[in-house]
Structures are given as structure tokens and as C-alpha cells.
Structure 1
Amino acid sequence: MHRPSTAEAELAAELAVVRPSLGPRYTAALPGARAAVLTRLWRALVHEPLPWIAHRGGSGGESLLRLRDGRRLHGPRADPYATAAYVTDVRLDGVAYEDPSRLMTDLSVPHGVGFAAELGHSVASLALSRAGQRPDPASSQDPGEWPVHDWEWEQRVVDGHPYHPSCRSRPGFSAAEQLAYGPEHRPSVRLGLLPVPSDECLVSGEWPRELRDGTRLFLPVHPWQAAHVLKLSCDQGIAAHPLMSLRTLALPGGPHVKTALSTRLTSSVRDISVGSVAASAALSAFAETLTPHTDGLLHMTRTLGAATAHSPDLAAVFRESPRVFGAPGEHVVPVAALAGTELAHSAAWLAQFARLALTVGLRLLELGVALEAHGQNLLVVLSASGAPLRLVYRDLADIRVSPARLSRHSIALPDELPERIRTDDVNALRRKLFGSLVAGALAGTAGSRPILRAALETAVRDLPRSPDLVALCEEPLPVKALTLMRLSAEASGDQWSRLPNPLTGDAS
């Protein structure tokens, strides 16, 4: 009989106080949550360049990993693009592990103890996320009966990142706070409004008039941030609906607001840097100039205004809702919310969507702009019948731009754009796009390597044969090494792995 991990037991005890009716459903959801996180972890162990794994092999339907200390790990052969939870246990020197946190603890690798705790949080929070779901018929409904509001689509993403083992890790969030702020629990969140002297703020773009009062600005503050980081109370507030990133919320009938949230969710601490606020208006204006180069197939959400009290812990960004790019009868849907819908089960639809996404992504890459087009940043505009028409991209902070490529196409690069997003390294540009779009958005929607391969084969058939397309079709597919990054406390920035190319099967 499985003994609950510390994180599982602690969350169960909190739930017994704040929402006892969810207790039985939470307990019932734990085995599936363990398998979901273990599947993500096993994918990383099999495919990421972890320094303490000496050899990878296996035969038939099993993978064998030999550690540098001589121990052996056995588990199912890992499809690097699968999203279903198909790993229920992994054997370390013959001992079966169904709990990813215990497996990571007993591997005894550098920085593994902290990551094991994250995995425990991920399992517990994922079980709570699943336990709180009402029956959702949207996956089988006709498009005309799909959600009306943009936040309703966002809140259908229950399991978080499809490939990150820390897909639902929310350290520092109690059970009550997860229920109150987690988008999958469908709450309304009242943001605080903190008055700050205008001369103590850096403002980019146009700050909303209703959030100005003489010599003061009112900065929207997430209630978790107010309680745990700023240690203050905000009496005023505006009601909003949390989107899948948790820190970004939709204001009813209005724009989206990104708040500072200084805790680690999956890979990153979710604050808002002063530099990103300073560059936001210039970056938004630059992005708008790209739309004509895509024949109207891509829209970029505009940053309306951003402000910071010269602290990453106290800042906010307003940007327009992607919904403004949908005509009456059309649906604007985050790609991450498409998994499990009837559309994602249609081979013809997947091929159409892949062709649209690759046409846009490769065209911008040729021009010199690599989007981080994962399932959260990338949205698709669907017709009333569900056909993919156009794309919408949001959150420009992590794109990469090539000054040399832009110059070849006579596209001006504003001086205000931060140095960190500039690179002429072709590998860095391709990694950014291919890792997010193909190994992220498209793979997560397809749900397996065979389905992804079929969609890509159809999609690339008529695309211009550029060097970038050749690399996409013939070379191993780059993807962020998410577990390696969490186990490399001394290293900063992205680290990368190379997955078997779904079109060729090759990897290195």
C-alpha cells in the first residue's frame, strides 16, 4: 500500500479543514497524479543530458539507464512526445517506484533533494487540481457551444505543462490559496491596488487613467504577493479571472493584467523585471510591424501599459486580450487548451493547424524573429466550425531577434530592445522556435510521436524549402532540458536536450 509523501499528507490535512468535501476525490486522484508526474520525469531521465547517467539503452518495450555509480534504472520505452500518463512505476536496481518524489530522493544526485520536494508538491497540487473539476463537456461539444469568455478556455488547462515534472508545483501555496487563486479551480480573484508615488515608478506606454490619482499610480497586486512577499494589505481591489499562468488575469470586458508573483512555478520565479517594463512599449511597437509580413496570419497582442516601483516584486503589465482578434462567431483559443478536444483527435485538423503554425513561425524566423510559441503564448483563431484561420501571439519578453537577418529584410530594430533578446546564432534562433512550437505546442496537441509525425509530414510538404525547414525536418529536435535546469543550481539560463526527430527518428 502506498504511503503518502509529506506533500500529499500535508495538503490532505489542510483540505480536511478548508474543503473537506474534496478529500475523497483528492485521495482518489493521487495515483493518477503520481503517474502523470512520473511519466514526465521518466521522459527527462531517458532523453535529457543528465551528467550522472552513463549509458542509455534497452530493448523491446523497455528502456535501461545505467548510472555512473553502477546502479540501473528500468522503465517503459519513452515516447518523448507522449502526453498520456503511461509510466506507473520505474525500477531502480529492481526496486519499483511509483512515487516520483521518492525515486528522485533515492537517486541521491546533486540538488536532487530540493527537486524531489518540488515533485511531491507537483503530485499533490495536480491531484487537487483534478479533484476540483466539474464534468466538462466542452471537449465533445460542437464549436458553437464552446466557452464564450477567454478565461474559460484558459481554465480548462488542468494538468499544467505537458512535459515538465514540476507541472503543478506551487511551493508556498496552501490548499486554500490554490483553491482561491488556481485558474483550474475557476475562482474570481480580487486584486489589490497599491498606491505608489508617480515619481517613484518607471512607466512604459499608457498607464490606465482610472489607476491614476494626481501624483499617485495604483499598481495591481496579486493577493498572494501582498500577503507573502510585500507583507501588506491592499484595501481596494478589482475582480479578475486567473489565466493559465496564474499571475495573469482577465479583467471582465477588458484587458489582461500580468502581476508580479515572486514564487517558483515550474521553472521560473514569476516576478516582473524592471528591464522588461522599460522595454515593453518598444518591444510591443516592434512586434506590430511584423504582422504585415505574415499576410495577416499572425497578430501580436499589444502591451498597453506597464509600471514598476523599481522592484521586480512590485510591478504590473496591462496588455490587450487576444479576443480582440476574433471576429463574431470565431473562437480565440490558447493552444494548450486544445488537447483533448475533438479537434485534436482529427488528423486532418492537426495537419491544417501544423501547416498554419509552421508557415507563420518559419516566415518570422526567416525574417529574424524567433517566437517562444509554446501552448500558453500561442493562440489560434478558429472559425465557427473549428477551422484554424489565424494565430495570435502574446508575451513578447522571451522572443529572440537576429539583427543580421532583420537587416537583410530591411526591418528596423529599435535601439530600446534589450540586449538579451538579440542574437545572430542560428542554433539559438532555431532552438527558441522549434523547441517551443514543434516540441511544445504541436507535440502537446498531438499527444504522441506517431500523430505528431503524421501532422508534420502533411504540413511541411508544400512549405518553401528554406535552410530552417531543412534543419527542422532532418536534425534532432531541440527542447529545453527542464529537469536538468532544475538540477543545475549553479547554472543560469536555458539548457537544452535533443529529441528524436519525429520525421526521421534520428537523435544524437
Structure 2
Amino acid sequence: MDGRLLLDHHTRDPHTRDPHTRDPQTRDRHSALAEETALGALLRCWLREVACPRGHVRAAGPHLTLRVAGTPVRVRVHGGIALRFDGPPEHLVEGRWRPLGLSSLVALVERELDGGNEEFAAQVRAGRDAVAAILASRAGAAPPADPWLASEQALVAGHPFHPAPKARSGDDWLDYAPEAHARFAPRLLGVRADLVTEEGDTAALDAFGDAPDGYVPLPAHPWQLGLLAAELRGPFADGRLVDLGPGTRAVVPTSSVRTVFDPGTGMCLKFSLDVRITNCVRKNAWYELCGAVELTRRLTPVFERLARRFPGTRWLPEPGYRSAALGTRLLEGLGVIVRGGPWAVCGPGTTPVLAGALAAGADGVPEAVRARRAADPVAWWRAYVERVAFPVLDAFFRHGVVLEPHVQNVLVGFDADGWPVEAVFRDLEGTKLVAGRHDLTGVPGEVAAPLSYDAARGWNRVAYCLFVNHLAEVAATVAATTAGTADGVLRALWAVARESLERYVADHAAGLDALAPLTRVLAGAPLPAKANLGVRWARAADRTAGYVPVPNPLRVDRVAEGEHR
């Protein structure tokens, strides 16, 4: 037994290669694609959050023309509110349209927003460089044979409406990057038994190895141990913790980076990770550890009822957590939440696929799904909307539960013919209870408060995640990958979505109170879109992020060509 913290034994995926060793032409292609990806993300943010609300966008032939710091910028757009770009954006320089580069766009954004954020440009560049490094590592790595894990590791570009979706800190992040097809062995710690803090079912953690007498095993993310090295020296020196070395088996990181799948138990582990990914430092706050178990207890009967009403509805409970009582910093930093795995809840013959992969395109999407989606897009889409949207809406209106159904929190189960037959909801961190609808007596106030949203805030979250982040992105991809006119297909898809939502109201929501928010959406009210550029520019916590209105593609008179205006 060695009480020292051994930080140099990373288990690097043998397929991962140094991105700087590849040939120059390949590096140039990766750099160009990374530049295009980063430029598109920042420009989409600007269009949605600044140019459109300020009325600085107009149609000019096949282009949208907008102004950034007084400079005209034009780009071809399709996909409705998803804002997919056809061809490179251009800006007007000395009377001529010239290609717009990322550095030029960043400088224009900074000028119009009057500076004030010296971190912003570096974050955008870091996101671009991360995509280039991911592409290089990915080129030399084999994707997982498991189709669900392949979809989890397919999100190379990341959030399409975030100014720096792939920015990562540190030198060894590729060792743990799902997009680079990483896998690694967690380190196993021993926590002195009198210092263990845990709740619920934590048996999945014991499967990673035995601890010496008087200690309890605790798997840890190697990246996190490096980040906590200074704080861990004391507990390792005095024996409150012991380092038992690398675990005996590898885990596979999923799309969130810090949550991994353990093939040995079929369970997922949600580690803390003191790294900013999009807007949040991804650590498990102490109240989230307790809250996950509390929500699992409360949501078990809710999902049982949802599954009876909407067959095919599934979820991944979070039945337990374990950490070490070594002060708040280490309690949170070493905390691990146990989560169910999708293969255990999906029916026989059903393959779970991450919705984010379905939104992004073809990578990580099984061939049967792509073929069915292309062959019968309208019927496929109808089934998709009903599997995903109906339980989300019913959870909110009937049960007072705010799910967070964005594309990284939903897995869609497909049968052998590629039809959507199940929807699996996960990640209780963003799941909330509508205030006044649930009795939280007996739950400590510090835990209860973060579990609740008022109804208006809850609806904004549901509407953004479901309609803007999820359905709009998947619809844009379905339209773009279907034979025929993409705009015409997109109009047909939104018409079908509207019919399905009206059927939900007629068949399932009749008599329910407080349906007004959905009624307003069906009447064409603007939808709320999260303002990621605004919160990143302000260097604010993600929980403070506001929303900007975007056109509602469900409006009866909405045409696809005008959805983004």
C-alpha cells in the first residue's frame, strides 16, 4: 500500500496519437475544419443573441446580411432557427466581399461589446485548437464497438450556439476526451472508514477493487486528482486517504466528459471535474450529491406513471453517491454519483443513440437509423417527436417536474428497422421540481432550495431544451439529409410536430391546469433561447444565463425561409 498520490500513471488510450505528428496536409485540413467550426459557432451566437434582437439582420438575396461593429457580414443560412450555414461567411472590406476569419470576427465582437473581457478571445481560440486536436487524435483511433458509446463520442463540434464549446484546460485533456475515443482506468483511492460520506446504493463503486481493512474504496478520475494535487497532499500524508493505484479495468467517457460508462457493471459514474466545459466548472456540489439521491426517490413513481401513459419512456436513476468528509473542497472534488446505464433500461432489440449525434449528422448514428430517417423522414420525425416531447410535457404539466431534455441529456432508442421507439432521460443535475407542487418537508433547506424552480423559470428551461436545443437541431439535420428541397422538408417536419403537440393536448392534457405556456407556443409565441454568448462574455455563472426570443417554427404561417429572421 502506497500512501503517496501517484499522478504519472495515466492510462492513455493506445489508439490516441500525438496530433502534431501527422502530415502537414492532414494538419491543414484539421486546422481549416476547426476554424470553420469555431467561426460558425461564434457567428450563430452573434446572430441569435445580438444581431437579431437589435434588428441588425436583413435578407439580401440568398444571404443574410448583418452588422458587427459596423462591418457588414453576410452568410447563407438554412435549417430555420438552427442557423446552419451554406458556405463560408464573408465581410465587406474596402468595397469587396472577402472571407471572414475567426480572428477578424472575434475582434469585431470585442469592439462592438466594448471590450471588458480579456479571457474571451483566448477561450474562442482554445475551442478552435481543441477541435483541431480532437480531429487529429480521432483520425488515429477506433470508435467503440458499442453503438451507444460511438454516438456519445461523436460530438466533435460541440454546442452549435456556444462561443467556445470545446475549450479545455490543461495539457493532458486528450487522454480523457470522449471525442478522441479515449478510455482510461480510474485510480482507486481508499477512504478511511470513519470519513466516508455516502448515501443510497453505491455497490457499483465497490466493483472497482478492494480497499485495506479500515478503508472504503473510492474510484477517482485521474484528471481530477491532478487538479486537486495540492489539497490531497495532507490527507495522503496522514493516512486519511491512500492511493491504491490504477484500477483494474477501463471506463469509457461519455459526451459530458466527466461521466463515464463502466462496461463491467453496466453502470455510469459521474465524477467531479474542476474544469470549465462550456459555461460550468463540472464538479458535483455537495447539495447535488444529496439532491441526486433525493430526486431518484421522488422521480421513481413519476417515471413509472409516465411509462404507463407513454410506453417507451425510460430514465437513468442516480441511486447513490460516495465521497470523503475532508472539507467541502474535497467532499465535492472527490464525490462520485452512481447512475444507471442505458442498456439495462432499453427493451430487447432496442439500441440507444445520443440525441446529440442525431442532431450533428451521420457520425455515430447507426446505418439502419440513417437509412430509415432518409427513406421516410416525416413518419420517422412524427415518431421521434412523440417519443421525446410527450413525456417531457406531461412531466411538467401533470407532475410538476422540469426535465432538461437537451440533446446531451436524451438517448433515443431505435428498433432494428431504425424507428424511434424509446426515449431515455438522464442527468438529474438539471432536473427540478416546480415550486409549490411538491412537499419538501424533511429535506434540508440547503438541498431543497436548488431542487426547485418556479413555474415560469421551469417552463423556460423546458421550452428551450425541448424546442430550440433539441427538436430544432434534429429537424434541421433531418431536412438536410433528405432528398428534395430542404426548406420544404423542414416546413413539413414542423407541421407534423405541431399536429403531434396538438394531439398531446387533446388526448393527454385535457383538464390539466396551467397549460397556458404550451397554448402560447402553439399560437406562435416566440421561443426562449439560452444566451450562452452573453453569459460567457459576462463571465457569469451558468445559472444566471438569460434567454433571448427566437421565431417559433410551430406557427401556422411560419415559412422555413423566414424562421431565422
8 Å contact from structure 1 (residues 250, 256) kept in 2: yes
8 Å contact from structure 1 (residues 71, 92) kept in 2: no
Structure 2: stretches of 5+ with no match in the other structure: 1-15, 233-242, 363-369, 480-486, 507-514
CA distance in 1, matches of 2:210, 2:521: 48
From the superposition, tell whether residues 366 and 135 of structure 1 become closer, same or farther in structure 2 (CA, over 3 Å): farther
The count of residues paired between Structure 1 and Structure 2 equals 475
After superposition, where does 1:63-102 map in structure 2 within 5 Å?
63-66=64-67, 71-76=70-75, 78=77, 81-82=81-82, 84-86=84-86, 88-91=88-91, 96=98, 98-102=100-104
CA distance in 2, matches of 1:43, 1:18: 28
Which letter does structure 1 place at the counterpart of 2:43? W
Question: Aligned-pair RMSD on alpha carbons?
Answer: 3.2
Aligned counterpart, 2:56:
56
Aligned counterpart, 1:441:
470
Aligned counterpart, 2:179:
184
1:261 lines up with 2:273 in the alignment: yes
| TM-superposition CA deviations, 1:71-123 (whole Å, max 9, x none) | 23422265563364536234276685633244213433334431211111111
CA distance in 1, matches of 2:417, 2:17: 44
Which letter does structure 2 place at the counterpart of 1:364? A
2:319 counterpart SS class: strand
**Deviates most, 349-358 or 443-452:** 443-452
**Deviates most, 26-35 or 262-271:** 26-35
After superposition, where does 1:323-334 map in structure 2 within 5 Å?
323-334=343-354
CA distance in 1, matches of 2:464, 2:504: 19
The alpha-carbon deviation at position 267 of structure 1 amounts to 1.6
From the superposition, tell whether residues 384 and 111 of structure 1 become closer, same or farther in structure 2 (CA, over 3 Å): farther
After superposition, where does 1:312-461 map in structure 2 within 5 Å?
312-339=332-359, 340-341=361-362, 342=370, 343-345=372-374, 346-367=377-398, 368-404=400-436, 406=437, 415-416=442-443, 418-426=448-456, 428-447=457-476, 450=487, 453-461=491-499
From the superposition, tell whether residues 316 and 87 of structure 1 become closer, same or farther in structure 2 (CA, over 3 Å): farther
CA distance in 1, matches of 2:141, 2:274: 32
When normalised by structure 2's length, the TM-score is 0.76
CA distance in 2, matches of 1:257, 1:284: 15
1:89 counterpart SS class: strand
Structure 1: stretches of 5+ with no match in the other structure: 1-14, 139-145
The alpha-carbon deviation at position 164 of structure 1 amounts to 2.1
The alpha-carbon deviation at position 153 of structure 1 amounts to 2.6
2:255 counterpart SS class: coil
8 Å contact from structure 1 (residues 259, 315) kept in 2: yes
From the superposition, tell whether residues 375 and 234 of structure 1 become closer, same or farther in structure 2 (CA, over 3 Å): farther
From the superposition, tell whether residues 446 and 54 of structure 1 become closer, same or farther in structure 2 (CA, over 3 Å): closer
**Deviates most, 498-507 or 87-96:** 87-96
The alpha-carbon deviation at position 478 of structure 1 amounts to 0.8
Aligned counterpart, 1:46:
47
Aligned counterpart, 1:463:
504
Which letter does structure 2 place at the counterpart of 1:236? P
Aligned counterpart, 1:298:
313
8 Å contact from structure 1 (residues 16, 23) kept in 2: no
1:501 lines up with 2:552 in the alignment: yes
Which letter does structure 2 place at the counterpart of 1:420? P
| TM-superposition CA deviations, 1:130-164 (whole Å, max 9, x none) | 334459999xxxxxxx9535323312332222332
From the superposition, tell whether residues 87 and 168 of structure 1 become closer, same or farther in structure 2 (CA, over 3 Å): farther
CA distance in 2, matches of 1:23, 1:66: 36
From the superposition, tell whether residues 66 and 81 of structure 1 become closer, same or farther in structure 2 (CA, over 3 Å): closer
2:521 aligned residue (441, 452, 472): 472
2:263 aligned residue (252, 260, 284): 252
8 Å contact from structure 2 (residues 318, 338) kept in 1: yes
| TM-superposition CA deviations, 1:150-181 (whole Å, max 9, x none) | 3233123322223323222113245xx41x21
Which letter does structure 2 place at the counterpart of 1:442? L
The alpha-carbon deviation at position 420 of structure 1 amounts to 2.3
The alpha-carbon deviation at position 363 of structure 1 amounts to 0.9
CA distance in 1, matches of 2:116, 2:537: 5
The alpha-carbon deviation at position 382 of structure 1 amounts to 1.4
From the superposition, tell whether residues 366 and 73 of structure 1 become closer, same or farther in structure 2 (CA, over 3 Å): same
Identity of matched residues, %? 23
Which letter does structure 1 place at the counterpart of 2:284? I
1:303 counterpart SS class: coil
From the superposition, tell whether residues 414 and 435 of structure 1 become closer, same or farther in structure 2 (CA, over 3 Å): farther
Which letter does structure 2 place at the counterpart of 1:421? L
Aligned counterpart, 2:128:
123
CA distance in 1, matches of 2:47, 2:140: 35
Aligned counterpart, 1:27:
28
8 Å contact from structure 1 (residues 204, 281) kept in 2: yes
1:443 counterpart SS class: helix
CA distance in 2, matches of 1:162, 1:347: 24
8 Å contact from structure 1 (residues 442, 452) kept in 2: no
From the superposition, tell whether residues 373 and 118 of structure 1 become closer, same or farther in structure 2 (CA, over 3 Å): same
Aligned counterpart, 2:365:
none
**Deviates most, 374-383 or 488-497:** 488-497
Which letter does structure 2 place at the counterpart of 1:270? R
1:418 counterpart SS class: helix
From the superposition, tell whether residues 39 and 21 of structure 1 become closer, same or farther in structure 2 (CA, over 3 Å): closer
From the superposition, tell whether residues 195 and 50 of structure 1 become closer, same or farther in structure 2 (CA, over 3 Å): farther
8 Å contact from structure 1 (residues 443, 452) kept in 2: no
From the superposition, tell whether residues 64 and 468 of structure 1 become closer, same or farther in structure 2 (CA, over 3 Å): same
> Which structure has the bigger radius of gyration?
2
8 Å contact from structure 1 (residues 83, 444) kept in 2: no
CA distance in 2, matches of 1:421, 1:50: 35
From the superposition, tell whether residues 300 and 47 of structure 1 become closer, same or farther in structure 2 (CA, over 3 Å): same
The alpha-carbon deviation at position 476 of structure 1 amounts to 0.8
Which letter does structure 2 place at the counterpart of 1:374? H
Aligned counterpart, 2:166:
168
When normalised by structure 1's length, the TM-score is 0.84
Which letter does structure 1 place at the counterpart of 2:538? S
From the superposition, tell whether residues 42 and 344 of structure 1 become closer, same or farther in structure 2 (CA, over 3 Å): farther
The alpha-carbon deviation at position 251 of structure 1 amounts to 0.8
CA distance in 1, matches of 2:373, 2:131: 23
From the superposition, tell whether residues 116 and 318 of structure 1 become closer, same or farther in structure 2 (CA, over 3 Å): same
| TM-superposition CA deviations, 1:204-227 (whole Å, max 9, x none) | 212224466444233222222222
| TM-superposition CA deviations, 1:15-72 (whole Å, max 9, x none) | 9966513654232122222222212211211121489x854132324444456xx623
Which letter does structure 2 place at the counterpart of 1:356? R
| TM-superposition CA deviations, 1:442-471 (whole Å, max 9, x none) | 222222684555323213312215433323
